[in-house]
Structure formats: C-alpha cells, structure tokens
Amino acid sequence: MVNEFASRGITVHGAVRSETDVEELRAKYGAPHRFLAADVTDPEQLEGFARDAFESGGVDIVVANAGVINERAPVWEIPGPTWRRALDVNLLGVVNTIKAFLPGMIAARKGLFIGMSSGWGRSASAGLGPYCAGKFAVEGLMGSLALDLADKQSPVAAVALDPGGGVNTDMLVSCLPESHEQFRSPDVWAKGAVDYIVDRLFLDAKSGSLEIPESAHAPYE
C-alpha cells in the first residue's frame, strides 16, 4: 500500500517496529514520506508517531493494519500468551491508534480512519479463535466509533474494512498452507485497494462495515 499511495503523489507516514526497517524505508522512498519506529501495543510510541504526522502537514487517512495470527488449534488448547498477543495487536493496537489520531482529526474536522478487519472478523474459522475474536471485536469497535463521531457531528469517517477475499501474505501462508497461492499477491491487491480507499471511502466520507469489492481489482494475473 505504501507503494500505491506514494505512486499517486500521496505523502505516507509509516510506523514499523524495527529501526532497520525504518532506515530501509527512508532510503527507498525519501522525502516527503516519513517513517518512524513505533509499536501499536505501546500507546506512548503511537502518540509520538501521531504527533510527528500532524506536525509534518496533517493527516487525511489513517490505516490501522498491524496484525498477527495464531497457529491453528482448538480454542481450549491455545496458550494464554497467544491470546494476549493477538488481542494486544489486533484489537488494542487499533484502540491505541484511535486514541493517538482521532483527537487531531476531529479538531481538523476531516479525515478517514480505517481499522483493517477480515472475512474472519465476520465469519469464524476453526482453529483461529484469537484472530477471529480480535477481528470481530474490531468490527464492533469501529461501529461504535462511527456512532460516536456521528453523535458529535464530526465529519470524520470510520470504517471497518474487509480486504475482500484473501491476500497472499505470510499470515495467510501460515493458516492456509495448501491454498494460499490461489489468492492475490499484496502488490496486486494494493492497486485496487488504494484506489477504493482514496476514490470511494475518503472522497465520499463513507463510514461503516465495508469490503473492498471485486470490481475494484484488475482481473487475476
């Protein structure tokens, strides 16, 4: 998605956990794009990242997309630390991002906040209890956020966004080892996804539980 946003002349502020990744991204993209080290499970780091973004020119679109997935196992066999990690990243990471960015967006009276959801946040899958629980919770969280914004008569939009079908990421490989190759690569998916986010969700100020439609994508290669 960074490639696609940047190719459209949109300045990207990105947060990654590793300083090595920060340096690689800075070398690849250069100014005016900015990349900082910040972990979504650390509220103070997220607040610093958000502050830098606002001070560097404002924020129009926030995509809260950090996520982890568990190895498939029955709910009762999954260790407690696995549950805590999944919920810390997949749910509370979105909460921390909301708390860091929404006050500035509300003050500016503009913007789109996206919490990345999943088909497994709307229809459960065996063996993925922590992931499904977190993504189902993101759906409820974003729905509540949208109502809060409407109650305050804020024009900021809030969307729980299902990527639309599977995307052949490392996470998908880990849970669908025999069928992941049938899905789009991240680079192919991102082309249609960014068009949909910018041209439909942002410009139309849409809120709600939405899915990137098949029509947003070019045919499979």
Q: Would residue 35 count as lying in a domain?
A: no
Collapsing DSSP to helix, strand or coil, 155 comes out as: coil
**Domain harbouring 47, CATH code:** 3.40.50.720
Question: In the prediction, which pLDDT does 106 show?
Answer: 97
Q: Would residue 196 count as lying in a domain?
A: yes
CA 81 to chain centre: 23
CB atoms inside a 10 Å sphere around CB 155? 13
* CA dihedral sign, ordered 85, 88, 90, 91: positive
Question: In the prediction, which pLDDT does 214 show?
Answer: 76
Question: In the prediction, which pLDDT does 167 show?
Answer: 67
Q: Would residue 12 count as lying in a domain?
A: no
Question: In the prediction, which pLDDT does 119 show?
Answer: 86
Q: Would residue 22 count as lying in a domain?
A: no
Range of the domain at 62: 40-213
The residue ranges of DSSP E strands in the chain, in sequence order, are 13-16, 34-37, 61-64, 112-116, 157-162, 208-211
Question: In the prediction, which pLDDT does 207 show?
Answer: 93
pTM of the model: 0.91
Q: Would residue 170 count as lying in a domain?
A: yes
Taking the alpha carbons at both ends of the chain, their separation in whole angstroms is 18
Q: What is the pLDDT along the chain (221 residues), one digit of tens a residue?
A: 999 999 999 999 999 999 999 999 999 999 999 999 999 999 999 999 999 999 998 899 999 999 999 989 999 999 999 999 999 999 999 999 999 999 999 999 999 999 999 888 888 989 999 999 999 999 999 999 999 999 999 999 999 999 876 665 666 556 665 664 556 677 888 888 899 999 999 999 889 999 988 776 655 44
CA 160, CA 203: separation in Å to the nearest integer?
Answer: 17
| Annotation says 131 is catalytic | yes
DSSP 109-144: T--EEEEE--GGGTS--TT-HHHHHHHHHHHHHHHH
Q: Which of 29, 131, 196, 220 is catalytic?
A: 131
Q: Would residue 29 count as lying in a domain?
A: no
CA 14, CA 3: separation in Å to the nearest integer?
Answer: 12
Question: In the prediction, which pLDDT does 213 show?
Answer: 83
Q: Would residue 149 count as lying in a domain?
A: yes
Q: Would residue 28 count as lying in a domain?
A: no
Q: How many domains does the chain have?
A: 1
